[in-house]
Structure 1
Amino acid sequence: MKKIITLTAIVLISTLSMAQIRVGDIVLPYKVNFDGEELSLNGAGMRSVLGFDTYSGGLYTKKKYNDPKKVLDSDESMSIRLNIVSKKVTNNRMIKVFRKGFDDAMFGNTQTLDARIEDFLKLFASPMKINDYFDLVYIKGKGIKTFKNGEELGYIEGRDFKYALFKIWLGNEPACKLIKGGMLGLSK
């Protein structure tokens, strides 16, 4: 009987540990579900500035990717989760990072996206604190739904918007090379 209980406990613990992954101090779920579609963690990384962790980023997809171009060009549902790990990450700083990220990702060519970028940035108006997390979810053929701590904040239409948003982390000059490599499962 003791052997059965021990074996059951080992199986349960190993199953639970496989259901999530640790990135720095953040624990990310291995699977998430949005609009009835299950997405699996493709990979994740931590952004550090001057040796201090600021936020983690995880990419969730329906199938595994290690080529950023395929992620950017894909019209399948996928998500990026950002977890705040520093009090230095404020809503004003995040808005500045997004604004610069869009500009860099699109080489300053954001005119067709400007109104949607402004609407997106408004979703980050509320204060942020450590352990807040944001899901930037692309719904196939539609656009980006943004969630904060599981609560929907808003929706921005367009696959072109998804391309620009995801390019912030997965483009040729990403906001953070460690997060890009982590999201693509290329670095540990």
Structure 2
Amino acid sequence: MKKITLMLVAIISLSNATAQIRVGKAILPYEENFAGTDLKLNGAGMRKVLWIDMYAGGLYMANKSNDPKEILDANETMAIKLNVVSGFVTQKKMIKAVQDGFVNATFGNTKALDERINKFVGFFSEPIVKNDIFDLVYIKDKGIKAFKNKKELGDIEGRDFKYALFKIWLGDQPASEEIKLGMLGIQ
């Protein structure tokens, strides 16, 4: 009986150990469920500045893909998870990075999205600290639902907004080439 109990504990421990992946100092789950849709980690990478790990980013999708255009164009529930691993990531720096990211993603033409971008930037109204986790979830046919540490921050309608938001990490001028390649499962 003792051997069976030990074996069961070992099996449960192994299954829990493989349910997550380490990306630098961050730990990301292999699977998530948003809006009733099971999503699997497509890939993950680390945003670094001067060899300092800033945050890990993971892309979650129902079906894996390494084609950024296909991912950006898809009208399927998917999510980007950002796990802050450095105290250098601050509220002010995150807001600036997101605003710059939208400018890059839209080739400087943010006019059609300005109101929604401002609403999204408002989601960063509280201080950002090490170990904060942001989930940016696109829900099919609806829009983005944002979470910080599992607390819902709000939602923003539109697939066009999802396209621009996800393009910050998956576009031709990504926030980090390492995160882009990681999210695409290439690296």
TM-score w.r.t. length of structure 2: 0.96
Letter aligned with residue 123 of structure 1: F
Letter aligned with residue 21 of structure 2: I
For 1:174-185, what aligned pairs fall within 5 Å after superposition? 174-185=174-185
Identity %: 58
State the distance in 2 between where 1:186 and 1:13 align. 29
Matched with 2:72 is 72
Residues 99-150 of structure 1: CA deviation (Å, up to 9, x unaligned) = 0000011111111001110111011010011000100000001100000000
Q: Which blocks of at least 5 consecutive residues in structure 1 are unaligned?
A: none
For 1:2-17, what aligned pairs fall within 5 Å after superposition? 3-17=3-17
State the distance in 2 between where 1:24 and 1:5 align. 34
Which moved further from structure 2: 4-13 or 114-123?
Answer: 4-13
Matched with 2:160 is 160
State the distance in 1 between where 2:122 and 2:72 align. 24
For 1:53-68, what aligned pairs fall within 5 Å after superposition? 53-68=53-68
RMSD across aligned positions (CA) = 1.1
TM-score w.r.t. length of structure 1: 0.96
Aligned residues, how many?
A: 187
Cα distance, 1:37 vs. partner? 1.4
State the distance in 2 between where 1:9 and 1:184 align. 35
Matched with 1:23 is 23
**SS of the counterpart of 1:113?**
helix
**SS of the counterpart of 1:89?**
coil
Matched with 1:50 is 50
For 1:90-109, what aligned pairs fall within 5 Å after superposition? 90-109=90-109
Residues 35-73 of structure 1: CA deviation (Å, up to 9, x unaligned) = 211111111111110011111100011111111111101
State the distance in 1 between where 2:49 and 2:85 align. 12
State the distance in 1 between where 2:95 and 2:28 align. 23
Cα distance, 1:10 vs. partner? 3.2
